[in-house]
């Protein structure tokens, strides 16, 4: 299956999510999990709980049910204990004599077994993240293509179009498109960094390309893959990924310090140095002065100043540092006999 994550605060319609997702999870073969997070000050404090619920801990959504004008969600703690102590929790004041008769309808009984009942509005208020997994049955088929992305300067900013995947669909179908990198837990010697991934999808029917018909979601807590669920008509599609090294934000703030560190790392990383064909034969840092004239770090006449103006020490030159190779894969799941042909290419 394929899992996606999203924040409960990002739901555009709580009614549609109830009717189209939670009530029909068996029809769509989906599993749901939820978790809650506190602010950064308390998120790592395992001693805290929110009316019996633990932050940073995953809970399973067992089923939902509408009963006597209220919407209920039956949730389970996989530990088999430690339950919700708020409204509609086991033995709470909401369970009056009138409502105790509804326990059988909800298929629930009191006891410290990890299963508890929440009203839907409390469910969305207390839990901050929802994880949804789509389970594929034999009616689904998968096509895929993996690309080897050559080394590039570590501080390079990637844009949509540097990498392209072409998809050809022979008939209308529900589809799930997944962009993924290798799992660093199992391929530590082949991939030494993790990348942020996202992509946009275009329908190839106009020149220039039309606006994207869909974009990838965000996989909270996991950088390994991003995905998108949509309906596709027969035709040609273009998937444009964008990748960014997980530490690029450090480069922007501390470029010189980081280059010193990564220069040392590059000496031990298990990858071959880039060839002239991969780098265009030019590994020099481009001149960023433009038409602004000589910088403050150059002497009159254009000679480089050998001293650092702040410390008086000998100025250092920082070699260009390159990323390891990246294996990037696109998987396309289609349904009911639809076939997807997938191919990819690197454009830079």
Residues assigned a catalytic role: 57, 77
8 A C-beta contact, residue 237 and residue 202: yes
d(CA 202, CA 214): 7
d(CA 21, CA 28): 8
CB atoms within 10 A of CB 116: 26
d(CA 348, CA 86): 56
Residue 202's nearest CA partner among 162, 160, 147, 172 is 160
d(CA 62, CA 114): 11
Q: How far is C-alpha 173 from the chain's CA centre?
A: 24
3-state secondary structure 229-267: EEEECCEEEEEEEEEEECCHHHHHHCHHHHHHHHHHHHC
Q: How far is C-alpha 289 from the chain's CA centre?
A: 37
Q: In the β-sheet with 163-169, what is the strand arrangement from edge to edge?
A: 214-215, 195-203, 235-245, 163-169, 340-346
């Amino acid at each position: 299956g394929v899992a996606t994550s999203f924040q409960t605060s990002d739901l555009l319609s709580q009614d549609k999510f109830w009717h189209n997702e939670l009530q029909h999870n068996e029809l769509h073969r989906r599993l749901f999990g939820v978790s809650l997070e506190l602010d950064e000050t308390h998120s790592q404090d395992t001693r805290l709980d929110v009316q019996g619920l633990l932050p940073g801990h995953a809970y399973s959504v067992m089923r939902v049910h509408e009963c006597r004008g209220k919407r209920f969600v039956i949730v389970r703690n996989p530990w088999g204990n430690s339950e919700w102590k708020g409204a509609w929790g086991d033995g709470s004041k909401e369970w009056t004599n009138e409502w105790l008769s509804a326990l059988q309808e909800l298929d629930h009984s009191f006891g410290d077994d990890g299963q508890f009942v929440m009203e839907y509005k409390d469910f969305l208020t207390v839990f901050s993240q929802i994880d949804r997994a789509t389970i594929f049955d034999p009616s689904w088929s998968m096509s895929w293509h993996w690309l080897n992305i050559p080394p590039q300067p570590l501080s390079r900013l990637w844009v949509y179009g540097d990498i392209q995947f072409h998809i050809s669909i022979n008939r209308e179908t529900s589809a799930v498109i997944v962009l993924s990198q290798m799992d660093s837990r199992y391929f530590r010697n082949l991939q030494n960094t993790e990348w942020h991934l996202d992509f946009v999808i275009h329908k190839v029917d106009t020149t220039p390309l039309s606006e994207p018909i869909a974009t990838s979601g965000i996989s909270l807590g996991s950088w390994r893959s991003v995905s998108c669920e949509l309906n596709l008509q027969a035709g040609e599609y273009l998937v444009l990924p964008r990748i960014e090294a997980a530490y690029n934000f450090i480069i922007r703030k501390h470029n010189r310090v980081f280059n010193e560190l990564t220069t040392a790392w590059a000496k031990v990383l298990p990858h071959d140095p880039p060839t002239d064909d991969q780098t265009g034969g030019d590994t020099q840092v481009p001149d960023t002065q433009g038409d602004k004239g000589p910088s403050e770090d150059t002497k009159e006449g254009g000679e480089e100043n050998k001293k650092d103006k702040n410390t008086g020490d000998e100025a250092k030159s920082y070699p260009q540092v390159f990323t390891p190779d990246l294996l990037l894969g696109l998987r396309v799941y289609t349904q009911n006999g639809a076939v997807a042909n997938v191919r990819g290419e690197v454009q830079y």
